[in-house]
């Protein structure tokens, strides 16, 4: 029995700043049926409250606590595993502001850091890799990434995402990240299920990406639905070892499964 629905945002509910056709009605029907809803995104740059406001303005009922982003998952992870530690962040202001607002103890001197957090940063530079080296040379003991997305879509085509920066830092400090949040992280899946207060077997995950959305849902035992409104075409689907339980043209067309 389905009691909760985990919904990706970009490519599933939203296309850029616009709502995809039928998405609002589909989500309203889910709520009318008494299902819990959680919006889940790998975008680390917007806080949950901003996403909730944006969705509400487009006619979709959403509250901040129903939005789990890559950065909010990272914050939850830091609270659980690195509470009260000093953090050096390699990320742009939209990410570091969220960390600071959540009470993460950020330091400007990498040598004082216990943990290094790496995320989306359009000004990522050589000096950032030097800083990461100095942090671990001085005794930092954890490397945490916000999300694994190597590229992110833009109207002009894909651009490097957090994953590309995390990989660069991991390579230069010669260690794998201790955790990379966002989808398909098991940690993020657990946080999503905790928010819904439901077991995975009672949840459906709907998304447009095989390697993040569907991979995460499959791994923890959610029913998975791939929608064709995002990045995955039929050729990619046919060639992938990651397969959803269902494929639908859009979120609106998935109402029978929700």
**Residue pLDDT, tens place only, 62-72:** 999 999 999 99
Give residue-wise pLDDT tens across range 205-234: 999 999 999 999 999 999 999 999 998 999
CATH fold for domain 4-42+183-257: Rossmann fold (3.40.50)
Q: Where in the chain is the domain with CATH 3.40.50.1000?
A: 4-42+183-257, 71-180
pLDDT at 48: 97
pLDDT at 156: 81
pLDDT confidence tier of residue 154, bands split at 50, 70 and 90: confident
CATH fold for domain 71-180: Rossmann fold (3.40.50)
Q: What is the 3-state secondary structure (H, E, C) of the chain?
A: CCCEEEEECECCCEECCEECCCHHHHHHHHHHCCCEEEEEECCCCCCHHHHHHHHHHCCCCCCHHHEEEHHHHHHHHHHHHCCCCEEEEECCHHHHHHHHHCCCEECCCHHHCCEEEECCCCCCCHHHHHHHHHHHHCCCCEEEECCCCCEECCCCCCEECHHHHHHHHHHHHCCCCCEECCCCCHHHHHHHHHHHCCCHHHEEEEECCHHHHHHHHHHHCCEEEEECCCCCCHHHHHHCCCCCCEEECCCHHHHHHC
Question: What would the mean pLDDT of 22-48 be, rounded to a whole number?
Answer: 96
């Amino acid at each position: 029995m389905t009691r909760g629905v985990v919904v990706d945002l970009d490519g599933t509910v939203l296309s850029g700043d616009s709502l995809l056709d039928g998405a609002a009605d589909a989500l309203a029907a889910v709520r009318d049926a008494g299902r819990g809803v959680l919006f889940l995104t790998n975008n680390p740059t917007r806080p949950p409250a901003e996403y909730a406001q944006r969705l509400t303005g487009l006619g979709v009922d959403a509250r901040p606590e129903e939005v789990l982003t890559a950065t909010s998952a990272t914050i939850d992870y830091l609270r659980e595993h690195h509470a009260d530690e000093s953090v050096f962040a390699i990320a742009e202001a939209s990410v570091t502001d969220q960390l600071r607002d959540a009470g993460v103890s950020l330091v400007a001197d990498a040598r004082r850091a216990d943990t290094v957090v790496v995320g989306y940063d359009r000004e990522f530079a050589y000096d950032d890799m030097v800083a990461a080296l100095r942090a671990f040379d001085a005794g930092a003991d954890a490397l945490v990434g916000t999300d694994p997305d190597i590229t992110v879509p833009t109207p002009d085509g894909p651009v490097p995402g957090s994953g590309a920066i995390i990989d660069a830092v991991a390579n230069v400090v010669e260690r794998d990240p201790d955790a990379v949040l966002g989808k398909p992280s098991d940690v993020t899946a657990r946080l999503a299920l905790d928010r819904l207060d439901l077991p995975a077997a009672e949840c459906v995950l709907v998304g447009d990406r095989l390697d993040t959305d569907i991979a995460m849902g499959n791994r923890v035992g959610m029913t998975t639905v791939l929608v064709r409104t995002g990045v995955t075409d039929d050729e990619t689907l046919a060639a992938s070892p990651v397969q959803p339980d269902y494929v639908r043209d859009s979120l609106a067309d998935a109402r029978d499964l929700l």
